[in-house]
Structure 1
Amino acid sequence: MFRHRVRDDIEIKLLEPRDADAMFALTEGSRTYLRQWLPWVDATQTVDDSKAFIQSTLQQFAANNGFQAGILYRGELAGVIGFHGVSWTNRSTSIGYWLGERFQGQGIMTCVCRAMVNIAFEEYGLNRVEIRAAVENHKSRAIPERLGFQQEGVCRQAEWLYDYFVDHVVYGMLAADWSLVRES
């Protein structure tokens, strides 16, 4: 199984069915917080829902179409990050992520996202990584901004969030730019 140490207290690992209880508990404990920006929260009502998500991510990994990884902070599941899918033809992917409310503000997601960008460029040999976030989701937008991603534009009404549309800011990073960002 895929595991990657990000720093001494942070690791990412491929999600497995045995992670379903912890994942559901994390979702449940942060439900109101997560619901502000994530459209899948209301559909996650039982451990079986988390298990079904994990099963789909294992199929994604087996199909060589990216992966979803659990973020472990001091050995505890703190969130999820992953490649939504990989366009091997265009050598590109997009990254999605979420973190439980009590794990916010500790630099966890910035470190993990940096590791994922490294994986995309160094291990997968991709040329482009994209991150999208709702215009008003300032915490999520801060991640690509800290990492030196370029803001490329806004997609109007890009996502239906329960009862309204939200606009998404699109951030992009190219492999050539990443090597310059990492050196600075």
Structure 2
Amino acid sequence: MFIYEVDENIVLKQLKLQDANELFELTDYARDYLREWLPWVDTTIKPEDTLAFIDHTLRSAELKTGFTTGIFFKKKLVGLIGFNHLDWTNKIGYIGYWLSPDYQGHGIMTNAVRALTDYAFAKLELNRVDIRAAYENKKSRSIPERLGFTEEGKIRHAEWLYDHYVDHVIYGMLAGEWYRF
């Protein structure tokens, strides 16, 4: 099982099926906030939906096509981060993340993204880390910007979000750039 200690307060841990209820409760608590930017919220309506999601992430990890971890702050689950997709042919990892609004503004996500980027380059030996965020999602975009990722462009109408399209901004970091940063 993947466990990565970011600092004395933050640990990234691979989710287990036993985490389903806690993750569902967190999702349900933050539902209105998460719905603004994440397309899956309306289809996560009962703990079994979260259980199926965790099962999917475990299979992705086994196949090495991606992996998802819980972000634990002082041993409490406060969000998720992981590689939504790992492209081994091109050595690219696509990071996705979300954090409960109660825990934002304390550097938790910045430190988690920094740690996962370190892991991508040092342990997975990837060449590139890619982060995509909705153009209007300034909080999410501030993370790669703060960490020195390069804003590489904008994809128009990249995602259907309930009743409208949103544009995505692409951020990239190359291994050689990260080690100089």
Fold-level similarity (TM above 0.5):
yes
The runs of 4+ residues in structure 1 deviating greater than 2 Å are: none
Q: Distance in 2 between matches of 1:13 and 1:105?
A: 21
Number of aligned residue pairs: give it: 181
Q: For each residue in 1:113-163, what CA deviation from the matched residue of structure 2 results, as whole angstroms up to 9, or x when unmatched?
A: 000001110000000000000000000000000000000000000000000
Tell me the residue number matched to 1:8.
8
Q: Sequence identity of aligned pairs in percent?
A: 52
Equivalent runs, 1:96-175 vs 2, <5 Å: 96-175=96-175
- Provide the C-alpha distance between the structure 1 equivalents of 2:107 and 2:81, rounded to a whole number of angstroms: 14
**Residues of 1 paired with 2:127 and 2:53: CA distance?**
28
Distance 1:171 1:7 in 2: 25
Q: Is 1:77 aligned with 2:81? A: no
Counterpart of 1:177 in structure 2 is: 177
Provide the alpha-carbon RMSD of the alignment: 0.5
Q: Secondary structure at the match of 2:6?
A: strand
Q: What amino acid is aligned across from residue 96 of structure 1 in structure 2?
A: G
Q: TM-score, normalised by structure 2?
A: 0.99
SS of 2:57's equivalent?
Answer: helix
In structure 2, distance between residues paired with 1:23 and 1:174: 32
Distance across 1 between alignment mates of 2:142 and 2:132: 11
Deviation at 1:86, TM superposition (A): 1.0
Counterpart CA distance in 1 for 2:151 and 2:11 is 28
Deviation at 1:65, TM superposition (A): 1.4
- Cα deviations by residue, 1:76-124 (Å, 9 ceiling, x for unpaired): 0000001011111101111000011111111100000000001110000
Match of 1:61 in 2: 61
Q: TM-score, normalised by structure 1?
A: 0.97
Task: Structure 1 unaligned segments of length 5 or more: list them.
Answer: none
2:114, 2:28 → 1: CA distance?
27
**d(CA) in 1 for partners of 2:36, 2:170:** 19
Question: Shift of residue 66 of structure 1?
Answer: 2.2
Structure 2 distance, partners of 1:14, 1:120, is: 15
CA distance in 2, matches of 1:93, 1:31: 27
Q: What amino acid is aligned across from residue 40 of structure 2 in structure 1? A: W
Q: Which runs of 5+ in 2 are unaligned?
A: none
